[in-house]
Amino acid sequence: MTTEKKQIALFDITDAPDPRDKFGEIDLHSYDHYIVAISGGKDSVCCLLHLLENGVPRSKIELWHHRVDGGKDEPRVWDWPVTDAYLEALARAFELPLYYSWKVNGITGEMMRRNELTKPTCFEVPGGHTVTTGGNRGQESTRRMFPAISPDMSKRFCSSYTKIDVGSKALTGQTRFCNKRTLFITGERAEESANRSKYLRFEPHRSDRREGRLARHVDAWRPVLDWSEADIWACMKRWGVQPHPAYILGYSRCSCAYCIFGSANNFATLREIDAQGFHQMAAIEDELGHTMKHGASLHQVADAGKPYAAATPERVALAMGTTYDQPIIVSPDQWELPAGAYGVNDGPQ
């Protein structure tokens, strides 16, 4: 009988931890609260679906949407009008609570600051109440400019002030997260940009104080960080979840309609389907004497693009309306890939 000798590997790289994970892989079922930061975009929707596919109980999941235009009673400037209705339909379909949070006056308020403090933050809490916090400390300062098109969050203040900071304040402002373990889930994907490819998949959230007096344990998890766009659409199809109407119009990304990273085709389409909103944004450029895009006005950017052929009147009416009155979940056989799938990847970096 021959004895087969096997070389013992010095180390097995398949056992090596992902260097981007600080603590190795997550113990997914160890949390009391699972908060999905949901924009309505496909990646954040897939974060929710991934939790459900992994058996996280719905009773522990909540959806948080940071409104970029401030509260519901404030004018719409940046967002898709249908986003709230789309998210409310999604939350109803999965029987999950949806909480809104926002900075008063949204991105526009921060952008128009003139010798002022930054505005307060508001967030909805269980029981139907809204908490308002901040806005009375710090330094008076002036911006009078659009957020910079930059991965640097201190310059790209739209994301940092109206999303990241708002989410943190909503976590630190609720005692229900003290002495508890909370998982805060966001949908960044490495494929989207060089900057995002450097993100960690799992790390303590900036609001974490697990060693502190309040024992608030909060981890940040980016479960779709390594997913391809094909993985995302396959997940949406598996669940039959209809994508946000922006994708059906031909947009490859969905967050703010007037995202500062938008392409010429994005803006050419908006000028055609949302003349009032487009002129409102162009008038802000005139008022500030500062353009959203470097060296070109919004009209010049739109002139260089072409409206999406998929933006038919019926689809435009859905995206530009404030109701979502069609089934948000269909059978996977009926589910169709939207026109915006696999398009030019314009969006946050």
CB of 35 to ligand SF4, least distance (A): 19
Q: What angle do CA 175, 159, 243 make, to 5 degrees?
A: 90
Q: How far apart are CA 232 and CA 329, in angstroms?
A: 16
Q: 93: part of which helix (H) or strand (E)?
A: helix 83-94
Read off φ and ψ for residue 267, nearest 5 degrees: -75, -35
CB of 22 to ligand SF4, least distance (A): 25
Beta bridge partners of 182: 33, 218
Question: Near ligand SF4 by CB under 6 A, which window of 56-64, 157-165, 224-232, 327-335?
Answer: 157-165
Q: In what order do the strands lie in the sheet with 202-204?
A: 129-133, 121-125, 98-103, 61-67, 33-37, 180-185, 216-221, 202-204
Nearer to ligand SF4, 49 or 68 (CB): 68
Beta bridge partners of 61: 34
CB of 259 to ligand SF4, least distance (A): 3
Sign of CA dihedral 197, 198, 200, 206: negative
Helix%, strand%, coil% for the chain, nearest 5: 35, 15, 50
Q: Residue 256, interface with ligand SF4 (CB under 6 A)?
A: yes
Q: Residue 255, interface with ligand SF4 (CB under 6 A)?
A: yes
Nearer to ligand SF4, 60 or 196 (CB): 196
Nearer to ligand SF4, 163 or 315 (CB): 163
Q: Residue 298, interface with ligand SF4 (CB under 6 A)?
A: no
Chain residues 167-206 in contact with ligand SF4, contact rule CB under 6 A: none
What is the secondary structure of 169-196 as a DSSP string?
HHHHT-GGGTTEEEEEE----GGG-TTG
Among 46, 49, 158, 298, binds ligand SF4 (CB under 6 A): 158
Q: Residue 348, interface with ligand SF4 (CB under 6 A)?
A: yes
CB of 334 to ligand SF4, least distance (A): 30
Nearer to ligand SF4, 49 or 259 (CB): 259
CB of 348 to ligand SF4, least distance (A): 4
Among 83, 108, 159, 265, binds ligand SF4 (CB under 6 A): 159
Read off the DSSP letter of residue 256. Answer: -
What's the 3-state SS for 268-333?
A: HHHHHHCHHHHHHHHHHHHHHCCCCECCECHHHHHHCCCCCCCCCHHHHHHHCCCCCCCCCECCCC
Q: Residue 281, interface with ligand SF4 (CB under 6 A)?
A: no
CB of 55 to ligand SF4, least distance (A): 31
Nearer to ligand SF4, 156 or 315 (CB): 156
Q: Which positions from 257 to 276 touch ligand SF4 by CB under 6 A, shown as an x/- string?
A: --xxx---------------
Q: How far apart are CA 27 and CA 319, in angstroms?
A: 38
Nearer to ligand SF4, 185 or 260 (CB): 260
Nearer to ligand SF4, 147 or 338 (CB): 147
| Binding positions for ligand SF4, rule: CB under 6 A | 68, 147, 158-159, 163, 255-256, 259-261, 348
